Amino acid sequence: MAQYKFHLNNLRIAPRKVRLIANLIKKSPALSALAQLKFQNKKAALPMLKLLKSAMASAVNNFNLSLENLHISNILVDEGPKLKRFRPRAFGRAGAIQKKTSHITIILEEKIMPGIKKSKKKISRAIAPKPALAEAEITPKKPSFAPAYDKSSAGKKATEGKEAPREIKPVRKFGDFTRKIFRRKAIG
């Protein structure tokens, strides 16, 4: 079977972290791996998703492969160049920081499953027109307030159109003692 390699170089995520995502989708169908990557909560999932989408599109357009028959044969995550940075430490020393990068290679192959025919046609995406919005959805809605309660009737509903008056509380004033504690500068 023919294998097709696709690369992503110099990804600014450590290879150890990228391998966690790569091992999830290794040796799985490309469409199910695509669905699995969309819901991963890792930083490396987004670049891996973009690489897989690009690889699938290239395989379909350039090599006339069927999208349903594509499988991920292998994913290799290699270490790229390290960016060296230094951080000041105690007693005039410098602590080294290595910002690691990754090179990802994804290998796709076409496995023809029984019941799925190999199609030589390019898959075209039909873009459906968006449905027109209804008149009611276009007009802005007036905010609805919660029904007001009358304090005199002890919890019974009042008229629904009116809002209950809010109680205004007086501004709290600090006494002399509090002012002395929270003063900015002490008077000596």
CATH code at position 71: 3.90.470.10
pLDDT band, residue 107 (cuts 50/70/90):
very high
Q: Residue 51 pLDDT > 80, yes or no?
A: yes
Q: What is the pLDDT of residue 167?
A: 73
Q: Residue 28 is part of which domain span? A: 3-110
50, part of any domain: yes
Q: How many Å apart are CA 98 and CA 38, to the nearest integer?
A: 29
Q: How many Å apart are CA 87 and CA 2, to the nearest integer?
A: 49
Q: Residue 5 pLDDT > 70, yes or no?
A: yes
Q: In the chain, pLDDT over 70 holds for what percent of residues?
A: 63
The more confidently predicted of residues 161 and 123 is 161
Burial 18-39 (b: 16+ CB within 10 A, else e): bbebbebbbeebbeebbeebee
138, part of any domain: no
Cα R_g (the chain), whole angstroms = 32
The count of structural domains within the chain is 1
Q: What is the pLDDT of residue 64?
A: 92
176, part of any domain: no
pLDDT band, residue 112 (cuts 50/70/90):
confident
Q: How many Å apart are CA 37 and CA 104, to the nearest integer?
A: 15
The more confidently predicted of residues 164 and 53 is 53
Q: What is the pLDDT of residue 57?
A: 96
